[in-house]
Structure 1
Amino acid sequence: MTAHGVAEHGVDTPGRARVEARNLRSDRWWLLPASTTLGLLTFLVYGGVRAFQQEHFFADERYLTPFYSPCVSLGCAAEPGSAHLGMFLPDHPLLPYAALSLPILLVFRLTCYYYRKAYYRSIWLAPVACAVPEPHARQTGETRFPLILQNAHRYLFYLTIVISLVNTYDAVVAFRHPTDGFVVGVGNLILLGNVLLLWCYTLSCHSCRHAVGGRLKHFSAHPLRYRAWTWVSALNTRHATFAWATLGTLVLTDLYVMLVASGAITDLRLVG
């Protein structure tokens, strides 16, 4: 205990050199955690507002924003053609139209290995940065509640694969207009680029890498799975890049669909 009755821990543990300075950094070490926090909070606020806005989610009778996919609420009837999988959830202001998928995707991202690293270091401040003491008295890792729930990530991965297939379907059917037939617009390219990056993020996931080849004892006995494991491993090295890129493309895709649906801009047709 210190003279003030506060338990000593970390850099204040007895026997360690006494350093009066708050940290030993002379650079702006706080910029990275601050920018990470700002980026994550910006996405959460934008996504939360859009998920409950319940309008401007279907444009040009074919563009469905990923924040509303699959659109399974009875409220989707306001935009004919937006409910590809049917409407079976009640229409309520507190229930997102995509209530079937949004909780899964949110928890999947929240428990993602990269995002854990990002918000542990930036929001939870454990660890903050090299030569910067942590504010926590002790750490129990992910062995106790609630952090033990991070293990749900490996199971949510399989559900996310299904949702990625739904997003792919949305991007493909968007090439067909109900009256004009096959068309290609700027919105198609945005939806397609977004879904490709979503697949890169999903398949570069650590859980995907483990599912593909993590339990194999002899790669030589499973050449096809070994080849798939090497591909996933190559993607895995860029998992952090895809994590941030998909946050950006999700916002861009939703913003574009919202602007077209609201009449603020017109979708530029390239074909058809």
Structure 2
Amino acid sequence: MVAISINKLTKNFGDKTVVSIPEFCFPANEIIGLVGNNGAGKTTLFRLILNLLKANGGSVDFLFEECQEDSPANGLPPTPSTKSIANYDNAWKSQITAYLDEAFLIEYLTAEEFFSFILKAHNIQTIGLEERLEDYREFLSNEILGQTKYIRELSAGNKQKVGIVAALLPKASAVILDEPFNFLDPSSQNLLKKLLVDYKNKYHASVIISSHNLQHTIDISDRVVLMEHGEIIKNIDHITPESTKILSEYFKSART
């Protein structure tokens, strides 16, 4: 399991501060919905976490919980230990996956070729690809699997599906998805919600999603984090009718 710790993180574009987070931790083994209006800083935060953007200040650390393989002599269960890895250290990349946008795809490959590439990049044998794909066949549909189409020839929705599944296939400890419900039809959105909940439960993983659709986020999230002007202004760790009302009223007032 892995938590993501943020400390004094800032990012400026010129004179404008787009992310300013003094301290925050995305806990392990939760689905976390990151919500906010356009320009709130959600995608920029994801890029900072993944070291795709250089921060102006502060740090991001991945906190991996590890258990001893052998039980101690007293017969008690092994005590977990925590290992911290900074996001500029490549060691975290085998355990954190993401899909933010089409730039993450290799569009001159077919979907299966791209999935094989992703497994190889994680030092996973591609002989097990078909088995790994079993959980995602309904979501991907026959329009994607078993076709000779290159990814560049797929619709926006099918490209989105390929990117999401590529992030899930390695069975990473944490998955980051930026606006995963975009471009998907309602049936696919519902399938994706089930897939993400099943993934978290099966692999005890952190799943961090951003979304403009508050209802989709609330449906599956254990925690909802609200960003505004680059800052985290609410951290709701228990989704209730009252907290849902607060979030709904926030977005309603932001539109007026």
Task: Identify whether the pair has TM-score above 0.5, normalized to the shorter chain.
Answer: no
* TM-score normalized by the length of structure 2: 0.25
Question: Under a length normalisation based on structure 1, what TM-score does the superposition of the two structures give?
Answer: 0.24
Structure number with the higher helix fraction is 1
Asked which structure has the greater CA Rg, the reply is 1
Greater strand fraction, Structure 1 or Structure 2? 2
